[in-house]
Chains A and B, each alone.
Chain A
Amino acid sequence: DGGITQSPKYLFRKEGQNVTLSCEQNLNHDAMYWYRQDPGQGLRLIYYSQIVNDFQKGDIAEGYSVSREKKESFPLTVTSAQKNPTAFYLCASSIEGRGNYGYTFGSGTRLTVV
């Protein structure tokens, strides 16, 4: 079945560490997105990519980095510069960059700083 796979499901980070969240899709979608979800808030866009080897900052890109070397993969690195990284992270994809046909989401990664 086609879909988006996020791993790991739970991740613990020590202070000062960089961690990488994986996102893989086999839907042949052009666009991919990373969102951060905090309790009581809507989704906030971190980065998005509409095509391989290109990506754009979202509303809260500081302290995060991404790459899009393959169409299927859009990993997110949470760097030590991100001061409050504890959150639920969601990866999504859409057939084309405008998202007119809706987004498909992964199951999320819950990141906790210990």
Chain B
Amino acid sequence: AQSVAQPEDQVNVAEGNPLTVKCTYSVSGNPYLFWYVQYPNRGLQFLLKYITGDNLVKGSYGFEAEFNKSQTSFHLKKPSALVSDSALYFCAVREGGDGNYQLIWGAGTKLIIKP
């Protein structure tokens, strides 16, 4: 069965420090992986995705994520955190290919950037 895990409910980082939000997944075939961000009382915004190609994917707002097939991970990273990065972050996965597969969502990680 497909699944995605975000092992940390909350991550605290000082402004200017690098940040990592973790995501691991389980799918039968090749994974399609996504990161979204949600600000309070708002919908989700697309940050980046991995479908195929380079393992390091660059996205919006200076975020990037690294696909690691052997560790089945897709951690979100940013070299220098901003207070405005504070939000709820969701990882999602679906099985690749042309089948009718829906996204499976992680429970979310609350990122708090302290000035």
Residues of A with Cβ closer than 8 Å to B? Answer: 4, 6, 40-45, 48, 50, 58, 88, 90, 92, 97-100, 102-108, 110
Contact = CB atoms under 8 A, between A and B. Distances in A.
Interface of B: 4, 9, 32, 34, 36, 41-46, 49, 51, 90, 94, 98, 100-103, 105-108
Contact of A105 (B44, B51, B94, B98): B44
Contacts of A50: 100
Contact of A42 (B9, B32, B100, B107): B107
A6 B34 CA distance: 23
Specify the main secondary structure of chain B where it touches its partner: loop
Contact of B46 (A58, A102, A108): A102
A23 to B, nearest CB: 11
Nearest to A9: B41
B102 A100 contact: no
23 contacts: A4-B43, A6-B43, A40-B9, A40-B108, A42-B4, A42-B107, A42-B108, A43-B44, A45-B102, A45-B103, A92-B43, A97-B100, A98-B98, A98-B101, A99-B103, A100-B32, A100-B49, A102-B49, A103-B46, A105-B36, A108-B41, A108-B42, A110-B41
A106 B106 CA distance: 19
- Nearest 7 pairs of A and B residues by beta carbon: A105-B43, A42-B105, A102-B46, A43-B105, A105-B44, A42-B107, A107-B43
Nearest to B43: A105
